[in-house]
Structure 1
Amino acid sequence: MIRTLSKLRHAALALAVTAGAMFPQMATAETGEDHPEVARFPGAVIKDYDFREYEEAQLILSTPKDGKDGVVADKLLPVEGRVTYIHYETPRTTSALQVFRNYQSSLKRSGFKELFVCERPCGGRNLSAYRSLMKSRDLYLNGSKDAQYIAAQRGNTYVSMWVDEMGEPNVFLFVVEKQALDENRMGVTGASPMAKALNDAGKVDVYGFRFDTGKAVLRSESKATLGELATVLNDNPSLKIEIIGHTDNVGDETANQTLSEARAQAVAAALGEQHGIDAGRLAVSGQGASQPLADNKNEAGRAKNRRVEIVALSSPPPAANNTRTTTTQAKPAAQTPTPTPANQGENTRSPVDDANAIINAANKLKGLFGH
């Protein structure tokens, strides 16, 4: 009978592991997931989770103590960027010291440098008293028994972590990825048609820049259009643009390419000379006759193809129907490199993450049948 029960237990465990492999979504019922740069203590379970794309945080770098107006610390390190908060509950069979020492060792092996370590008992107060020091908003911090704290850094990644005892060891982990604020989330502001087009589509074809045939000198009737573009740039001080010249197909291909570049340069120069726009915000290029919008067989089509295109380089991505392609590399104005948009929203979850999730599921199910 005992052997039969043992076989049933092993069969059930094998089935649980197989099910976890077949159905990864069963691997966890937790809210949130581990931060990729800080490993989870074996058997720990996520109880609370919070992530902010940009928020302030503060690392404690000296032992917290009571002050006149609450808890204080002599040394604090403010950091802003992506902030991930994870509250873990670890198995009852472990101790707060065991968990803390393992995290301390794991961080060192991962290349983190310790900035400050506060051994137990650290501070002597309930962890909730340290919220203001850590700028942790209303995130859950609790417990005081055997409290230990570590602050560590690797490059632009900062770790701030408490471990204490509340029936079982609890871990309160903050990971801050220091970075500058993206100030362009609100898009291009302004009521002019040019501003609205840049905000909605990320680009606009402009026909108000006037040139003599075969020339790259702005005529006086271009003043209003130039002023409108300058207003857009002044209203959006973080906006950078690319100015792209286009011609019809009349004449030599090489000459048209050179002319389109020169006209774009003329617009950039006028923005700087007449409106004080920093050249570092202006990239210029020419496409010649390579990107026509209409048939060049008639004057109406050729007139539509002769244009200056303005493209927002630091604004919301263009609408889905924007199919503009650049056949030659943009030439920057005043030797300023053409900004390259950053990669967006890449999935950073790896096969190792999936495997860990399956193992966690198997461990949980194994607990149902004993060890």
Structure 2
Amino acid sequence: MNPLKIALLLFLITLGFGLAAQEDVPGAKDHPLLSRYPGSHIAWYQTKKYVAYDLATGPITRYRHIEDRQEVAGQLYRIYYEIEGAPAEISIDEVYADYLRAFERAGATILNQGLRPKGNDFGGSQWVGVALAPQSPPNSPSSKLFAGTSSSGGKFALAGRIDRPTGPVYVAIYGERHSNKLVNYLVDIIETKDAELGKVSLNPEYIMRELTERGTVSVYGIKFAYDSAEILPDSEETLKQIAAFLKANPGIKLYVVGHTDNQGEFSYNHRLSQRRAAATVKALEDRHGIASGRLLSEGVAFLAPKATNKTEEGRALNRRVELVLRP
């Protein structure tokens, strides 16, 4: 065969393999704020409408402890990219520099940054396990991060905040040259949405999924008067959604658990959380026809926080009612 034709054939075969390797997982997409590094594909993708994210912004200061953290809450996007078959000329320094440039162009405030850091430093090998422990995605490809082979060519981490009229957006990127054939990085983006607290849909499918996967579902749409167990009128839609779930699943029984923030004495908050849980049960029974005995109320005050109580955003996440599956 003509050598030119052989070369062309080999090029087309190589191109075909490259294109196949670059396919994203179904349903995945880049976030509008940040494009991917050229040649990357999305190997894992997750988005959640409202979660608390424990953003580490400092180094490890003592055993498995990072002092500098920020509790942020909102819609979370987790996008894990891989550059498979990455040639040696794609250094982790270049990927890092490209994202740092993107941060600067977006007017981001850099909260911390680290290129080729040591183990306990921001972005280091030991650091990432501690940093991501509160929200590390189990059994996902991103578990490859910071577990590179002996040919690993460096690591990096970036954390920043982009201020927008709708609220700040936090971005954290963790990356490495995993091996001589793979560069990988995880992009976490949190769009803070304080105004949407309590408006997350509690349709029956969502409640069932949360109870099945977690055994509990947090409810923020049941509002109470200040320092009171009086349920406010704008809670009615959430109560209707819970009642619809219970009527569609007559075999399910739940604990209704009240939670507070840590403002005030424990004994006071304990009583308040119990009264609020009891008021929720009573409203579902009296106004929405849920049979007596299916729901049992309890209150735990501030013993099971979902976020820090040092900020108003965190305290808002901690003031909630939880539906817990009864055996």
Q: TM-score range by the shorter chain?
A: 0.3 to 0.5
- The normalised TM-score by structure 1 is 0.43
Which of structures 1 and 2 has the bigger CA Rg? 1
